[in-house]
Structure 1
Amino acid sequence: MMPEPPRAVIGGIGCRTDFHVAAALDPLGRMLGTESFPATAAGYCSTRRWLASFGPIAAVGVESTGSCGAALARSLSEQGCAVIEADQPHRHLRARRGKNDAIDAEAAARKVLSGEAAAAATDTTGVVEAIRQLSVARNSAVKARSAALCQLGGLLVTAPADLRAQLDCRRTLGGKAAVCARLRPHPGLLADPAQAAKTALASLGRRIAQLGAEADELEDELDRLVAAAAPTTLSRLGCGTHHTATLLVAAGQNIDRLSSEASFAHLCGVAPVPASSGRTSRHRLNFAGNRDANRALHMIVIVRLRYCERTRSYLNRRVSEGKTKKEAIRCLKRFVAREIYRTLRADLATLKTRT
């Protein structure tokens, strides 16, 4: 008898912060084994060797490729494995079988085997990942600065009248914060509410100035990176640095993992979802998808409604046909998603040839 050819292996991995659990299936869906590995560089190599011990690796479904599974996905890709992005198990599975890491890993593998999970994991080894990281830091600084401004405004309402009078020379909260940063309270009289108010306002003023400087510095770096990565998309009306960066991060540097512009629209949550049953034929909104990308598309549409006559004409025509303004804006978001997908593909293809 001829020897049996080696069977392909479908892997599934449930990722956690300190460790990950791998499961291996054969092509018929039979469980070959499960094993736990540390979330380290050596553990990633051990995971690949363990899966390969059952036979050639066809594909590996990895959970949380955008968070605690990102390093593992990079390592497996570098070792030549096809890494598939697998969502967390459906709540119906957890209701039937319960919840543990081995069950999650098996569910990821079965999603790959059935074809339910087919999209490649986002590439996190290029400039798009750098843009994501800088965007996270910049957005954090902006939010913290906004929170500090709100706190400063609240303190000003209850501050002594003579202290408020010193700040009347500035009209905006940002201007008042700059003045507060220069206040010099007496450190030995903090039991006095007036001196305590000066201390608190001075602290918030310095914090606001520091966070503003951090946000400006990060924004300059983002301007440079986004202009180099996606110049064509950046030139479109309404596509500023931050909206372009958000859409770049949503698509990923390996945008070819999205089979069509419809896939990109679905990823951004602007593709209607069928909701028909029996004699009822209708679609509903897609409440899933990348909500940051959805918001970026929405803001691009709002800008174009303000400055683009063609966009306003389309909105008025659809409203005259019986659609509401919100429904017409949703149609425009779908159109913008189609346009942005094409420009992003062109930009990333050009970037690939340059590098």
Structure 2
Amino acid sequence: MTASPPLLAPEATARARAPLASAATLPPQAYRDPAIFAAERACLFASAWLPLARLDQIPEPGDYIAMDLMDQPVLVVHGMDGEIRVLSNVCLHRAAPLAEPGPGHRRLFSCPYHAWSYDTEGQLIRAPLMDGADHFDTRNCRLPQLRSEIWQGFILATLDETAAPFAPQVTGFTDYVAPYRLDDMAIARTLDFPGHWNWKVLVENFMEAYHHIATHSATLEPVFHARDSHIPDNDGQPWSILHMPAADVSGPHPEGTLPGLTDAQAHDLLATVLFPHFLLGIQGNGAVWYQLLPRAHDEVDLRIHVLLPRSTVPPEAWDETADAVAALVTVIHEEDIAANNLVWQGLTAPLTTQGRLSPLEKSIWQMNQWWLTRMGL
């Protein structure tokens, strides 16, 4: 029996493993090879804690969101008993999904195929015309429940029954962003953007300010100079924070800023990633959650959620503020789309090889070390 070849050539791995001052990017194969994407699904996504929703999206008992976690349809449910659960959205009878993708409100989930009905705890309540089925008892039928955690107002879940709990893995990150009170925020707008490139292209673009000097020369660079950006050590934890100091912190705090922040915290911008692809942009008066849904090696769906602090943005200003932030986010992301298109064009060219990382791209280096380890390289 012949052993499987390594996913990446050892010399390519060694270049990416080098210290930051001499490190290279991952090789193009890591982005454009469908076999590597398949390995990522098994080695990264299937065992990771992935963010599915915010508590503010399902505030009342009976509220739910139906979506896919990789290939598993799930229901993120606020139970009638007050508990938050992530349940399989597949009927136990003949495997039809119980609810179509999207939000809703139900006390019972009734299968559209044969009307088997489940409560918000996943318990089968009704199975019509099953008289005569030996040893069948609805009390013994319950939808599988995924492990889930609530962290900073986010509902995360994992398909891995053996995965270590999420919160203890990211204590350094939680401490760093604590002043911004993410759990006080709520989704005000959601923007949808399809991407026709590898998911890592988008993540890497999000994680460095070096490209401000060209891609965002008229938008972000005048406010957040690339040269001033810095990335703290993560002490081996699975996250990275790009801290972008504001060029000018002398003015008043932006409207809606959370109380208790320093001038720097009120004006600076953080672009953060909890590996593999939980992206948050954080400022003193709000945040954006980039919810990535990788579909294939060359396809990723993106939902950008605009989050506003409930304690500082009054209801009468909520819509106007949300519209303004969404418009700005759209301008910035459209600039990033153009950049990502260029990168993908180059990554799929036959002569492209590994490039050298800038010291300003420490976040990419940090993630590459985690990626290589989790991929067994």
- Pairwise same-fold verdict (TM > 0.5): no
Which structure would you say has the larger Rg? 1
Structure having greater relative contact order (Cα 8 Å, sep ≥ 6): 2
TM-score when scaled to structure 2? 0.30
The structure in which a higher percent of residues are helix is 1
The structure in which a higher percent of residues are strand is 2
